[in-house]
Amino acid sequence: MAEEKKTPEQLAQVQYTRPGYKWMDPKVEFKKGSYNYGAVKENAEYMSLPYPRKWQPFDADWNLPDNWQEIIFEGMRERLDRFRSFRVFMDICVRCGACADKCHYYIGSGDPKNMPVLRAELLRSVYRNNFTAFGKVLGKIAGSRPLTIDVLKEWFFYFYQCTECRRCSVFCPYGIDTAEITMMARELLNLVGINIDWIVTPLANCFRTGNHLGIQPHGFKDSIDFAVDELEELTGVRVEAPINKKGAEILFVAPSADYFASPHYYTLLGYLALFHEIGLDYTWSSYASEGGNFGLFHSAEAMKRLNSKIYMESKRLGVKWILGGECGHMWRVLHQYMDTINGPANHLEEPVSPITGTRFDNAKSTKMVHIMEFTSDLIKNNKLKLDPSRNDHWNVTFHDSCNPARAMGLLEEPRYVIKNVCNHFHEMPENTIREQTFCCGSGAGLGTDENLEMRLRGGFPRANACKYVHDRFGVNILLCICAIDKATLPPLLEYWVPGVEVGGIHEMIGNALIMKGENERATDLRGTPIKEVAEGKEVTEDV
């Protein structure tokens, strides 16, 4: 890979032309940098997934079970009977092409099978062949093709080149959601033992230890304790961070990267500072130490298995309700799935902010509140003392993460908070934010190093919009509320738009939050020096 490394200019030489072969002829080439490694056998076994084996996508022989086609057809039949979305989306696409140039992978790669419509056709063609009268009779003319090993390989290649970001679904006149189709395809691939390591290993880790990273309880505690020490060093305030505390009012669940990866870590410091300052009676849990859910990227069943811990733990600890941290797909699961798959949460109470008394009516059944809803309410009710000038060295933009935007509609809460804690805020162009936001290009389990070229391509539209505000307004940090974003955008931006860092909103809150008894802050939470207050004032007056 090293010798083939392309410059941004080379990688952006994308041609939106027709290749010399028809899309119906399956063709897939496992080029380095454009696919993910196969699942490790032991982890697949730990999760009791079907047909665990040693396997890699580039192997000529995938060692499929003998009756793999039957398994897939049976799987399709079962899913067609279980998911109306699948059946309807297989039947009604008119191939108008409105979705085509909405996909970040298509924009970044020019590969026509990355147009959402053709991605779906890969599966639809087999559906027609085996499940529709016209397809059976007319064959290729009706757009149907038999399920061959090459078709299966193509499925693997392209359904692991979809980040389930649902941008295409916003533009589809029938709301056809490629994420649904990708989910079905991945479930079908799983039935014959085709999975990727970057999804199955986090699944196994999370199932066993409670978080994707496989951090054991004492490691989790160390990590939180370390953050408490570091926060004290930075602010002079010693905060409490209770873990597995029974009888706390609120259970707090964040994505595990927040306490183990950078720049997530500064967001963690922000949470800790905030919860201390408002005197929140809350607890972390080591058993439910993961808000994210890679099960979403694998199968409805895996999602349910991982998600079950949150309600079970809230019951064991006897909390009143649950607060969730900054994470993208985590919130897709919590907002749209959790109550259905693991509810009803009758052991919890309807969430009420203990600080402001605000009732979160929109979460009264699931009983889980997004931290942006919680914090924006604190600010609105003047419960926080904030000094936004402490973020004056940051010129910020906000990247709507796919799922909070398109699964929840959480658009204004983060912006409201940002405007209260940062003085310099610039939006990226309107076709790249809010419900039209672009994916980081690494979601849905695709954020691996081996897949780097595809990630850079997929992240190109987001990075390019960021470059616009960087060049124009001097934006030097992109804020987001998603752990995958925070993990995968730094290398992406370094590649496409050097000079822009990535941070979380609660990091900015942590910077701006004036804590009782704090030392004068010389640096922000990541150790970057804050401009002198006096100097800052002078600058403002000059302007």
Partner 1 sequence: MPLVISLLAVIVLVVIALAGTGSLGLQYLFGVIFPYAALATFLIGLVYRVITWARSPVPFHIPTICGQQKSHSWIKHSKLESPYTTLGVIGRMALEIFFFRSLFRNTKVDLKKGPRLVYGSEKYLWMAGMAFHYSFLIILLRHLRFFAEPVPFFVTALQTLDGFFQIWLPIIYITDGLILAALLFLLFRRLYDVKLRYLSMAGDYFPLFLLLGIAITGYLMRYTTAKADLVEVKELAMGLLSFRPVIPAGLDSVFYLHIFLVSVLIAYFPFSKLLHMAGVFMSPTRNLANNSRAKRHINPWNYDVKVHTYEEYEDEFRDVMKAAGMPVEKE
Q: Give which of 394, 412, 406, 403 is closest to 504, Cα–Cα.
A: 394
Q: Cβ closer to partner 1: 264 or 335?
A: 335
Q: Do 194 and 62 contact (CB within 8 A), yes or no?
A: yes
SS3 of residue 477 by DSSP: strand
Residues 347-366 interacting with partner 1 (rule: CB under 8 A): 358, 360-366
- The reply to whether 229 sits near partner 1 by the rule CB under 8 A is no
Which of 130, 132, 423, 476 is the binder for partner 1 (CB under 8 A)? 132
Residues 290-329 interacting with partner 1 (rule: CB under 8 A): 300-301, 304-305, 308-309, 312-313, 316
- The reply to whether 54 sits near partner 1 by the rule CB under 8 A is no
Q: Answer left, alpha or beta for residue 433, where phi above 0 means left and psi between -120 and 50 means alpha.
A: beta
Q: Which residues contact residue 226 at a Cβ distance below 8 angstroms, ignoring those fewer than 6 apart?
A: none
- The reply to whether 118 sits near partner 1 by the rule CB under 8 A is yes
* H or E, element range at 250: strand 250-253
Which of 71, 72, 115, 274 is the binder for partner 1 (CB under 8 A)? 115
- List beta partners, residue 478: 397, 502
* H or E, element range at 382: none
- List beta partners, residue 116: none
Q: Do 463 and 306 contact (CB within 8 A), yes or no?
A: no
Using the structure block, give the residue that is written with the tokens 């054991």.
216
- The reply to whether 59 sits near partner 1 by the rule CB under 8 A is no
Q: Give which of 396, 389, 391, 418 is closest to 477, Cα–Cα.
A: 396
User: How far is the C-alpha of 472 from the C-alpha of 463, rounded, in Å?
Assistant: 14
- The reply to whether 121 sits near partner 1 by the rule CB under 8 A is yes
- Amino acid occupying residue 247: G
- The reply to whether 12 sits near partner 1 by the rule CB under 8 A is yes
Shortest distance, position 485 Cβ to partner 1, whole Å: 18
Q: Cβ closer to partner 1: 62 or 207?
A: 207
- The reply to whether 117 sits near partner 1 by the rule CB under 8 A is yes
- The reply to whether 105 sits near partner 1 by the rule CB under 8 A is no
User: How far is the C-alpha of 28 from the C-alpha of 170, rounded, in Å?
Assistant: 28
Which of 6, 14, 355, 423 is the binder for partner 1 (CB under 8 A)? 14
Q: Which residues contact residue 453 at a Cβ distance below 8 angstroms, ignoring those fewer than 6 apart?
A: 6, 11, 31, 32, 33, 34
Q: Which string of x and - marks every residue 173-212 that binds partner 1 (by CB under 8 A)?
A: xxxxx--x--------------------------xxxx--
Residues 21-40 interacting with partner 1 (rule: CB under 8 A): 23
Which of 2, 218, 516, 517 is the binder for partner 1 (CB under 8 A)? 218
Q: Give which of 365, 336, 354, 389 is closest to 513, Cα–Cα.
A: 389
Q: Cβ closer to partner 1: 407 or 479?
A: 407
Which of 3, 4, 9, 541 is the binder for partner 1 (CB under 8 A)? 9
In degrees rounded to 5, what are phi and psi of residue 276? -65, -45
Size of residue set near partner 1 by CB under 8 A: 121
Name the packing angle between helices 116-131 and 149-159 (round to 10°). 150
Shortest distance, position 430 Cβ to partner 1, whole Å: 8
- The reply to whether 145 sits near partner 1 by the rule CB under 8 A is no
Verify cis geometry, omega within 30 degrees of 0, for the bond prior to 351.
Answer: no
Which of 281, 339, 387, 494 is the binder for partner 1 (CB under 8 A)? 339
Using the contact rule CB under 8 A, the part of the chain among 129-137, 147-155, 249-257, 258-266 near partner 1 is 129-137
Q: Do 73 and 136 contact (CB within 8 A), yes or no?
A: no
Using the contact rule CB under 8 A, the part of the chain among 154-162, 271-279, 332-340, 499-507 near partner 1 is 332-340
Q: Which string of x and - marks every residue 374-413 that binds partner 1 (by CB under 8 A)?
A: --xx--x------------------------xxxxxxxxx
Q: Cβ closer to partner 1: 62 or 294?
A: 294
- The reply to whether 522 sits near partner 1 by the rule CB under 8 A is no
- The reply to whether 92 sits near partner 1 by the rule CB under 8 A is yes
- The reply to whether 139 sits near partner 1 by the rule CB under 8 A is no
Q: Answer left, alpha or beta for residue 33, where phi above 0 means left and psi between -120 and 50 means alpha.
A: left
Which of 396, 421, 465, 477 is the binder for partner 1 (CB under 8 A)? 465
Using the structure block, give the residue that is written with the tokens 């070229």.
453
Shortest distance, position 127 Cβ to partner 1, whole Å: 13
- The reply to whether 534 sits near partner 1 by the rule CB under 8 A is no
Using the contact rule CB under 8 A, the part of the chain among 64-72, 215-223, 270-278, 417-425 near partner 1 is 215-223
Q: Cβ closer to partner 1: 81 or 532?
A: 81
Q: Give which of 163, 211, 213 is closest to 186, Cα–Cα.
A: 163
Tokens standing for 28? 């897939």
- The reply to whether 260 sits near partner 1 by the rule CB under 8 A is no
- Amino acid occupying residue 497: V
In degrees rounded to 5, what are phi and psi of residue 252? -105, 125
- The reply to whether 469 sits near partner 1 by the rule CB under 8 A is no
Q: Do 119 and 113 contact (CB within 8 A), yes or no?
A: yes
Shortest distance, position 85 Cβ to partner 1, whole Å: 5
